[in-house]
Homo-oligomer: A and B are copies of this chain.
Amino acid sequence: MKRVFNFSAGPAMLPEEVLKEAASEMLDYQGSGMSVMEMSHRSKQFVAIYEEAEKLVREVMNVPDNYKVLFLQGGASTQFSMIPMNLMNKYGKVDFVNTGAWTKKAIKEVKIFGQANVVASSEEATFTYIPKDLKFSDDADYVYIASNNTIYGTRYTEFPKTKAPLVADMSSNIMSEPVNVSDFGLIFAGAQKNLGPAGVTLVIVREDLIGNPIKGTPTMMQYSTHVENESMFNTPPTYAIYILGKVLKWVKAKGGIEGVYQNNLKKANLLYNFLDNSKMFKGTAAKEDRSIMNVPFVTGNEELDAKFIKEATAEGLVTLKGHRSVGGMRASIYNAMPYEGVEKLVNFMAEFEKTNS
């Protein structure tokens, strides 16, 4: 068996320790005689797994007591409608900062329920930067941003100050660097980048925003349903929550978010420093807004890009093809990507540049 370094934008690499533990427990979780997949979600064992996962989210992210932690299904795409259905209840208007394909989807969805007010956008520059000097409405139910943009490799290094609750899609950089949860009304993230397998969505929501959905909101789309039943209104995605718990234990063992963040900076700096000094490879995002999770880069020559991707794959550096809207390459270096993976990538890039100049 040979493990590769997988630079996929998501689903993405998981810590090897987590996978090993999961494999060893697959037929018998801690003497229960069954897999976690086979357990009733109301069993003592699973309830303990669930409570531990929630506790770890609270501990690792330092979540204040007046926030609820939910494990839901349906991914960020479901949150795009669930959020307005629950929060767009006063003015029928949401302020957006449009920073890419995912905020565009969220904007489109809000229009089903009311007004989507785009206060700023970087679309004219293929979303290569994060708009600054934002002016928000006085009558927005909330302000919506994506903290990190997977496709374009940008991120907020500072979050806007808003009067209305700030809602952030953190799918692609949750728990990769410290954030102050109390600056937000609602934070959500699909698990499949930094938290675990696809199929579970983490939602952290301030209590006062819960319980006032718009008319016609299905029971499953109301946050209050899940709050009142501790995410057990229906069968939760038990196995995905179990893996998420293991990933959070791993984060904690790495020194918590601060520890993981320092390693992420080290990885990102290594790659960006190489890009800034390369004559062949070039990063595509504005320097001041660079993501430390997703690093898109190009050679400017499509044939050379293809050759690079092919040869990198042969070296065990896989899923490096860029998103079709940016082209070139993209290295997603989430929490679980080891420093060695980025080192190997940079060494390979240097060699490739030498051979192909």
Residues on A close to B: CB < 8 A? 1-4, 6, 8-14, 16, 19-20, 22-24, 26-28, 32-35, 37-41, 43, 73-78, 80-82, 85, 108-109, 112-113, 190, 192, 196-200, 216-221, 233-240, 243, 316, 318-319
Contacts and interface: CB of A to CB of B under 8 A. Distances in A.
A239 B32 CA distance: 22
Contacts of A34: 3-4, 6, 13, 318
16 contacts: A8-B40, A20-B27, A41-B198, A73-B237, A74-B220, A77-B220, A80-B220, A108-B219, A109-B219, A112-B217, A112-B219, A192-B238, A197-B238, A199-B200, A199-B238, A218-B221
Interface of chain A, main secondary structure:
loop
A19 B8 contact: no
Given A37-B243, A81-B220, A240-B237, A19 B9 contact: no
A351 to B, nearest CB: 21
A32 B11 CA distance: 14
B26 A13 contact: no
A234 B77 contact: yes
> Which of A219, A233, A237 is packed against the most chain B CB atoms within 10 Å?
A237
B220 A78 contact: yes
Contacts of A26: 19-20, 22-23, 26
A235 B190 contact: yes
Contacts of A41: 11, 198
A239 B19 contact: no
A199 B38 contact: no
A38 B23 contact: no
A276 B49 CA distance: 40
A218 B11 contact: no
A235 B28 contact: no
B233 A77 contact: yes
B3 A81 contact: no
Nearest to A225: B77
B13 A38 contact: yes
Given A23-B27, A319-B43, A77 B6 contact: no
A216 B109 CA distance: 10
> Which of A12, A37, A217 is packed against the most chain B CB atoms within 10 Å?
A37
